[in-house]
């Protein structure tokens, strides 16, 4: 709405519902849906000025990330909560800077050699914290035993316990590697935690795989699905997060998961730094 409070006051709930999770610049179907809604008046019916409608449509067609809403935000919070349960194992609340620290502050409270860190070193701490969050998103469901979503016979989403036999490596190995990673980066790990490096390489892939195809709207936010484990992991790998998206390429998990991750952790990405933020094979 270009920051126009008058236009913002005319946004109705049905329009928000129709726009949420759509990516008109990347998805031809999403763009056509929005154009149709503008022409038949189902989108932004309270905005009647023709020039305002045309300008708004032009701006919407340039949106290259999933359009968020309160509903999709709280759905994505469910995914974030899975990763938070992993990261909380590294919190050092006794060393945190304030009484009720964030998870980032709690984890950094146990970082070794924090005295007198210069800005470049602080950036390294943020890099490493970002990497731990990324690993927690990739493997959090398997590490904490959280349900993934599957489709029932009616095409709707049900929640079932994900069988760890289908997850490779296993839960114990993932925890060992997570603690090894944290210790390697200079964070304090719980006493007597098993620490063991594990070679993990995500299988390249995406969902849907066909160029120009779109992930259904119902799968563009919230907890991950059981039929797209490899695609989710690759989308959150360092290689997956560095991918560039072209117009009409289609909305895939790579775009959706990458946008969600950056939205949650943009505060950890240093400004004016051209170095790759996410490195490694995982």
29-70 pLDDT tens trace: 999 999 999 999 999 999 999 999 999 999 999 999 999 999
Do the beta carbons of residue 226 and residue 163 sit within 8 Å? no
Work out the percent of the chain whose per-residue pLDDT is above 90. Answer: 54
What average pLDDT does range 142-147 have in this prediction? 87
- What is the mean predicted confidence (pLDDT) over 119-135? 86
Q: What is the CA radius of gyration of the chain?
A: 21
Angle at 32 (CA atoms; ends 73, 261), nearest 5 degrees:
25
Using 50, 70 and 90 to split pLDDT, how confident is the model at 167? very low
pLDDT exceeds 80 at position 98:
no
| Residue of 61, 52, 42, 39 whose CA lies nearest to 7 | 52
pLDDT at 116: 58
- Asked if 149 contacts 232 with a C-beta cutoff of 8 angstroms, the reply is no
User: Does the structure show a pLDDT above 70 at 279?
Assistant: no
Which DSSP symbol is given to 21?
Answer: T
Total residues belonging to the chain: 282
- pTM for the whole thing? 0.84
In a 3-state reduction of DSSP, which class is residue 158?
A: strand
Contact 46, 1 (CB under 8 A): no
* Nearest alpha-carbon partner for 46 in 8, 2, 3: 8
Domain spans of the chain, in order of start: 9-62, 70-149+163-268
């Amino acid at each position: 709405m270009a920051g126009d409070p008058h236009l913002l006051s005319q946004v109705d709930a049905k329009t928000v519902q129709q726009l949420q999770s759509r990516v008109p610049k990347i998805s031809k179907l999403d763009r056509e849906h929005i154009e149709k809604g503008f022409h038949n008046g189902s989108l932004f019916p309270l905005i009647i000025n023709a020039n305002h409608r045309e300008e708004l449509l032009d701006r919407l067609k340039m949106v290259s990330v999933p359009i968020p809403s309160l509903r999709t935000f709280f759905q994505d919070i469910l995914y974030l909560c899975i990763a938070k349960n992993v990261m909380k194992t590294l919190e050092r609340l006794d060393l945190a800077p304030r009484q009720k620290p964030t998870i980032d502050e709690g984890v950094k409270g146990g970082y070794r050699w924090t005295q007198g860190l210069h800005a470049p070193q602080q950036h390294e701490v943020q890099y490493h914290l970002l990497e731990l969050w990324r690993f927690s998103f990739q493997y959090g469901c398997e590490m904490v035993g959280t349900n993934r979503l599957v489709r029932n016979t009616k095409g709707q989403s049900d929640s079932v316990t994900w069988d760890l036999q289908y997850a490779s490596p296993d839960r114990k190995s993932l925890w060992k590697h997570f603690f090894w990673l944290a210790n390697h980066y200079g964070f304090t790990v719980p006493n007597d935690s098993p620490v063991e490096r594990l070679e993990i390489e995500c299988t390249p892939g995406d969902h849907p795989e066909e160029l120009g195809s779109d992930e259904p709207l119902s799968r563009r936010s919230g907890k991950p699905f059981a039929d797209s484990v490899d695609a989710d992991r690759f989308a959150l790998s360092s290689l997956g997060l560095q991918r560039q998206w072209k117009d009409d390429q289609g909305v895939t998990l790579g775009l959706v998961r990458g946008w969600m991750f950056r939205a949650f952790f943009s505060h950890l990405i240093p400004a004016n730094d051209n170095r790759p933020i996410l490195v490694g094979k995982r």
